[in-house]
Chain A
Amino acid sequence: EVQLVESGGGLVQPGGSLRLSCTASGFSFTSSAMSWVRQAPGKGLEWVSSISGSGATADYADSVKGRFTISRDKSKNTVYLEMNSLTVEETAIYFCAKNPEYFGPNWLESWGQGTLVTVSS
């Protein structure tokens, strides 16, 4: 059974930084691209970033490009999202999701439970 467990959320001041983690189990980690999607309170879903199975390729939403970095560690079966220069508008639940294939844009077949990031002074 696929399991994705996010952690690292919390309260951060505007302009601050945070690193989210997503630990995966139940599938071949390096065979799947992974993604982060966020959802502001009471709002819809917004794709943030995806990384290929090898970690060689990453894509980002324009809204986070240059400030967020996605990475993965195959020895820990973990995907990370490093977030810098956070704004209050980025307060959201951040979900980790598994793509069905190794590379490229795809649907998000399995999701973690999410971790809440609150940006506030």
Chain B
Amino acid sequence: DIQMTQSPSSLSASVGDRVTITCRASQGIRNYVAWFQQKPGKAPKCLIYGASSLQNGVPSTFRGSGSGTDFTLTISSLQPEDFATYYCQQYDSYPLTFGGGTKVEIK
């Protein structure tokens, strides 16, 4: 199985800050990574697929990058509605696997 190691597990940031979350795959997975945002009590929402393609309706403040084993989600200017937990997911092969999550909290 492909393991997805996500870091940090949590971070505190202020509105307007630039935030970076990383995911490392245990083996090369080309660009087969998606990123999700989840707010408390809600379903996850897909932000990015193909490592860098923005899902329809997702603000351009979100950017994904990387290929192979190392991937990054960047929020260029944190907005109040961005405080949430973020997950990466690999879809290079079954079983689909997720990173452990990064909780973005208000400083």
Contact = CB atoms under 8 A, between A and B. Distances in A.
A44 B43 contact: no
Interface residues of A, number: 21
A50 B94 contact: yes
A106 interface: yes
Interface string A76-107: 00000000000000000001000010000111
Contacts, number: 57
A83 to B, nearest CB: 17
Interface stretch (B13-21, B73-81, B96-104): B96-104
Given A44-B87, A45-B87, A108-B89, A61 B43 contact: no
B25 interface: no
Interface of B: 32, 34, 36, 42-46, 49-50, 55, 87, 89, 91-101
A111 B34 CA distance: 14
B87 A109 contact: no
Name A's interface SS.
loop
21 contacts: A44-B87, A44-B98, A45-B89, A47-B95, A47-B98, A50-B94, A61-B95, A95-B43, A100-B49, A105-B92, A105-B94, A105-B96, A107-B89, A107-B91, A108-B34, A108-B44, A108-B96, A110-B46, A111-B44, A111-B45, A113-B42
A107 to B, nearest CB: 4
The interface residues of chain B, by DSSP majority, are classed as loop
Given A50-B94, A105-B94, A108-B34, 7 more contacts: A44-B98, A44-B101, A47-B97, A50-B96, A105-B91, A113-B42, A114-B43
